Amino acid sequence: LDRMKPVIVVHGGAGRIFKEREEGSRAGVVRAALRGYGVLKQGGSALDAVEEAVRSMEDDPHFNAGCGSVLNEKGEVEMDAIIMDGKNLDSGAVSAVKCIANPIKLARLVMEKTKHMLLTDHGAQLFAQAMGIPEIPGEKLITERSRERWKKNLEPDSNPEEFQKDLGTVGAVAIDSEGNVACATSTGGLSNKLIGRVGDTACIGSGGYADNHSGATSTTGHGESIMKVVLGRLILYHMEQGMSPEVAADTALDYMKTRVGGLGGVIVVNKAGEWAARFSTKQMSWATVKDDNLHYGIYAGEEHIKSVDEALASEREGF
């Protein structure tokens, strides 16, 4: 059996990344990619790798997922997450969940321990309790920055849309040495969103999609626009028609922009292990590891390359 070379790609959200947050965003996606790759190198599954990478970003307050999530109109954190297995199209998702540190872990449990694919709000909370997932006080997930932004958006002359450009969903896609693909996506959603608003992240085909027959993708950007065109599935469709990951991603993003005026970003890996990280927003933090080389960037056209050993060494010294 021909072993695949494992590949992982991660994103930390598309939008505009404020100057003072660039370093943290870069370091965060690099750390997540290295962690996910570590799982793959030890023979771990694509599923384990994407979950690990996303968990790493949920725990990093630089990103709008887990700790650091934006607040809804009432000043609370409500989070969405999805994970999908390309082998058999199994998927698990949670939406509007509160008071847990890692929604991606809960999504994985929904996939593996229930006959369902999506649990929401109170039901997801009951399921988390049944699974022994510790509840944490909601305040623990709220950063100073999220609260500041929430307050700003409450002012009568504020324009929350302006702030929503800094979106910061997180995601990962991977292919493992057996050729299985997987995706995972997690988010705190839109700042000052209505209570109970769920975006693209928890929706299969929109927030992500994985199928061994074609590849895997995770999306970020304006959720409502992503849902209208079912962006994740659209990209895989283009790859099924013979497009490369990069062309498929650009074609789908371009369609979303012209058809519904939506901006976003995507990461993709195909069944041959070719990858892409593309976006129509000003920026998207992303990182990839393939062939023991780390690639990463934030701006269009920006791509730094380091060997994994070099990256792990500077990781240990603090980025």
The label of the residue with tokens 């949920």 reads: 58
Q: How many CB atoms lie within 10 A of CB 3?
A: 10
CB proximity list for 191: less than 8 A, separation 6 or greater: 70, 71, 146, 149, 150, 153, 160, 163, 164
Instruction: Confirm whether 225 is domain-assigned.
Output: yes
Q: Residue 43 sits in a domain of what CATH number?
A: 3.60.20.30
So which residues are the catalytic ones?
169
The label of the residue with tokens 């240990």 reads: 316
Residues annotated in the binding site, as ranges? 197-200, 220-223
Question: How many independent structural domains does the chain possess?
Answer: 1
Instruction: Confirm whether 29 is domain-assigned.
Output: yes
Instruction: Confirm whether 239 is domain-assigned.
Output: yes
Residues annotated in the binding site for substrate, as ranges? 197-200, 220-223
pLDDT, tens digit only, all 319 positions of the chain:
568 899 999 999 998 888 888 899 999 999 999 999 999 999 999 999 999 999 999 999 999 999 999 999 999 999 999 999 999 999 999 999 999 999 999 999 999 999 999 999 999 999 999 999 999 999 999 999 999 989 998 888 776 555 455 567 999 999 999 999 999 999 999 999 999 999 999 999 999 999 999 999 999 999 999 999 999 999 999 999 999 999 999 999 999 999 999 999 999 999 999 999 999 999 999 999 999 999 999 999 999 999 999 999 988 776 5
Whole-prediction pTM value?
A: 0.95
Instruction: Confirm whether 113 is domain-assigned.
Output: yes
Instruction: Confirm whether 2 is domain-assigned.
Output: no
Instruction: Confirm whether 1 is domain-assigned.
Output: no
Domain extent at residue 258: 7-318
Answer for the pair 112, 92: CB distance below 8 angstroms, yes or no: yes
Instruction: Confirm whether 14 is domain-assigned.
Output: yes
Instruction: Confirm whether 198 is domain-assigned.
Output: yes
